[in-house]
Amino acid sequence: MEAYVLEWLNVLGRWFHMIAGIAWIGASFYFVWLDSHLRAPRYPDEAERLGIGGEVWALHGGGFYRAQKFAVAPPELPEPLHWFKWEAYTTWMSGMFMLGLIYYASAEVYLIDRSVADLGKPASIVIGLAFLTGGWIVYDLLCRSPLGRREPILAAVMLVLCAFAAYALTQLYSGRGAYIHFGAMLGTIMTANVFFVIMPGQREMVKAKAEGRAPDPAHGARGKQRSVHNTYFTLPVLFTMISNHYALFTNATWNWLVLMAIALAGVFIRLFFTFRHRGIVKPSFWAIGIALLAAVFVALMPRGGGSAAGEAKFADVQAIVVARCAGCHAATPTFAGFAAAPKNVLLDTNERILAQSQRVHQQTVVLKAMPIGNLTRMTDEERAKVDAWFRAGAKAE
């Protein structure tokens, strides 16, 4: 019953997290696009009277829209005034719920890999939370320092620090645990930007206007800086959210470098679009992003090579699968925490093992993604036997 309830919490949590994330990222992308497409107001006399700095005319859903941005603030505050904050907060809270439900509650399965670091469950959780909070503190201090006024240098420093974080995480956790914590660290920075910088600045601007004071434009400039940073973090975060499905990346020998290459590719691709929104086409940004992805593709390409295990019979492989895999991949899993076989892959009969031979080989030999976290201690010799059997034709004899 416990596994059944956890499965439902997993589904509902993921669903809500996805919905909240779409709302946040969609709003973020739209406002970046909107800000980049502002043009001189069509009616100058109106603009001068109201203090309008730019506007955008658009057509959507059968209607004409006119969005205007004031240079600082309108002459008087309108009602209602819509704030965009809960999209960020609910995305982070649902993400933390999922992090706790999957990676902390079942740290022994998804987070800890004792072949990487022999961590206990409490220590692994504390370290993970330290990366999340420490990432925000370091980033915020850098933005508030003189470097915050020199964006290219700030970006270079952040790149180095992110690379260090990626490397450190992969030396502490399983590949999937490291990737998800890297993404959670960036997601925490994004949400903290909204909570600690963007929203307080906006509240101060509204308060100043309500009290008849001229709002300080520095609050708007600071909020815009952090908002732009958030848009460049978005694609790397989205990649880490789906990375747990792809052991090709998380279990790579140089998995931290793979993570950084793909994250950086996402940044350059996003740069291409943000510049294009302003009418500046920079093909080099797109080219760098694609080149980084192509480099990862080539680096992770399977290499040929025979097995050193000699011959292996199906009986050998069947015994290995029963001992190392069938506890989870069965019609009724016996491994704690699994209500159903992951991805509905069943390996509890000879016929099912034969039918799934290619997947067994891919996951246990090529990617070494299974058993997850190597919980059942599959040895290199056993993997070599599976490899030899598969290369010999995966026959039932």
How confident is the model over 229-281, as pLDDT tens digits? 999 999 999 999 999 888 889 989 999 999 999 999 999 999 999 999 888 99
Give residue 376's Cα distance to chain centre: 28
Which residue from 374, 326, 325 is spatially nearest to 112, judged by alpha carbons?
374
pLDDT at 310: 63
Contacts 24+ apart (CB under 8 A), 300-303: 300/248, 300/249, 300/252, 300/258, 302/366
Tokens of 371: 């058993």
The per-residue b/e assignment along 363-394, b for 16 or more CB within 10 angstroms, e otherwise, is bbbbbbbbbbbbbbebeeebbbbbbbbbeeeb
> What residue type is assigned to position 68 of the chain?
Q
pLDDT at 338: 76
Cis peptide bond upstream of 217, omega within 30:
no
pLDDT at 154: 97
Distances (CA, A) of 179 to 32, 168, 375, 379: 27, 11, 19, 25
User: Tens-of-pLDDT digits for all 397 residues of the chain?
Assistant: 677 888 889 999 999 999 999 999 999 999 989 988 999 998 888 888 889 999 999 999 999 999 999 988 888 888 898 889 999 999 999 999 999 999 999 898 899 998 899 999 999 999 999 999 999 999 999 999 999 999 999 999 999 999 999 999 999 999 999 999 999 999 999 999 999 999 999 999 899 988 888 888 888 889 999 999 999 999 999 999 999 888 889 989 999 999 999 999 999 999 999 999 888 999 999 999 999 999 999 999 877 655 455 678 888 888 998 889 988 898 888 877 677 788 788 898 898 898 888 988 988 888 888 888 777 888 888 889 898 898 888 888 7
pLDDT at 269: 96
DSSP of 3-64, one letter per residue?
HHHHHHHHHHHHHHHHHHHHHHHHHHHHHHHHHHT-B--S-HHHHHHHTEEEEEEEEETTEE
Angle between helices 217-242 and 2-36 in degrees, nearest 10:
140
CB atoms within 10 A of CB 95: 24
Domain regions of the chain by residue span = 2-32+83-299, 37-70, 314-391
Tokens of 111: 């987070």
pLDDT at 7: 83
The DSSP secondary-structure symbol of 313 reads -
Which residue from 125, 239, 117 is spatially nearest to 182, judged by alpha carbons?
239
Non-local CB neighbours of 147 within 8 Å, separated by 6+ positions: 153, 154, 157
The kind and range of the H/E element at 158 are helix 151-170
Distances (CA, A) of 273 to 100, 212, 379: 34, 39, 47
The position carrying tokens 């010799």 is 381
> What residue type is assigned to position 215 of the chain?
P
The answer to whether 134 touches 189, Cβ cutoff 8 Å, is: no
The answer to whether 215 touches 209, Cβ cutoff 8 Å, is: yes
Helix (H, G, I), strand (E, B) or coil at 70: strand
Tokens of 220: 């708007």
CA dihedral 238, 165, 138, 84 (to 10 degrees): 10
